[in-house]
Amino acid sequence: MTQKFSYWDDLTIRENLDFVARMYGMPNRGEAVEKALEGLDLTQRANQLTGSLSGGWKQRLALAASMLHNPELLLLDEPTAGVDPLARRDFWEELHRLSDLGVSVLVSTHYMDEAERCHKLAYIAYGELLAQGTATDVVASQGLSSWVIYGEKLSGLNESLHGQPGVEQTVLFGTMLHVNGKDGKLLEQTLRTGTANTAFRMEKIDTSLEDVFIYMMKQSDDKAGAKP
């Protein structure tokens, strides 16, 4: 299933599925199409032109087409790009249902909340495997200590922390500033000094998968920039 929707806007959902079933040479394609429509809750929209569907419904159609021949392995390239949060949630529930039925599902994604839904992760950058394992394994592999600082107008504090002892990464999230570093004690000392006599409030937190992802990508970007 490709990232870019690759079916025909001027055909109905049923016609698209029937065409794909013919391409697979399926002798029982009528039965397979009806089963796919029911399985992805597409029956009521079966005669709707595909071009009039929202992004979420198009992704359902794409998944139904990919599953027509009952594959053992499903490859999905950023399947929820541009899809609203509710459609994303429903899509992932369907993927877990398929996984429970024994289908192996390989997904590429830039959304860390989606990555956390997977049984196993692998981070790849510039053709290099950076880390793999469960979400817990990947987070632990980087050994980052993490703090969050709450307050208003954090951009100034964010800039002042760059390059300070123990600070290896800062990431702004609205009224929160995540700060990460390998040396936990040194990082805490720097943050307490930097927030002393201010209205900012700091709190130690568990390192998130997104913190680790951003950290590893920055490390990888630095290495790539250093290559001749």
- pLDDT digit string, tens, across residues 171-207: 998 899 999 999 999 999 999 999 999 999 999 999 9
Q: How far apart are CA 171 and CA 154, in angstroms?
A: 10
**If you average pLDDT over residues 47-66, what whole number do you get?**
91
Nearest CA to 114 out of 90, 147, 130 is that of: 90
Domain covering 13-119, topology: Rossmann fold (3.40.50)
Q: What is the CATH number of domain 137-213?
A: 3.30.70.920
Q: How far apart are CA 209 and CA 113, in angstroms?
A: 8
Residue bearing tokens 């500033």 = 177
Residue bearing tokens 């369907």 = 94
Q: Where in the chain is the domain with CATH 3.40.50.300?
A: 13-119
pTM: 0.76
Q: Where in the chain is the domain with CATH 3.30.70.920?
A: 137-213
Q: What pLDDT score does 40 carry? A: 86
The residues near 15 (Cβ < 8 Å, ≥ 6 apart) are: 8
Tens digit of each residue's pLDDT (9 = 90 or more) over 206-215: 999 999 998 9
Using CA atoms, how far residue 128 sits from 13, 131, 155, 217, in Å, is 39, 9, 33, 11
**If you average pLDDT over residues 128-155, what whole number do you get?**
93
Q: What is the number of other CB atoms lying within 10 angstroms of the CB of residue 138?
A: 21
Looking at the chain, the whole-number percentage of residues with pLDDT higher than 90 is 64
Length of the chain equals 228
Q: How far apart are CA 185 and CA 25, in angstroms?
A: 64
Q: Give the bridge partners for 204, in sequence order.
A: 147
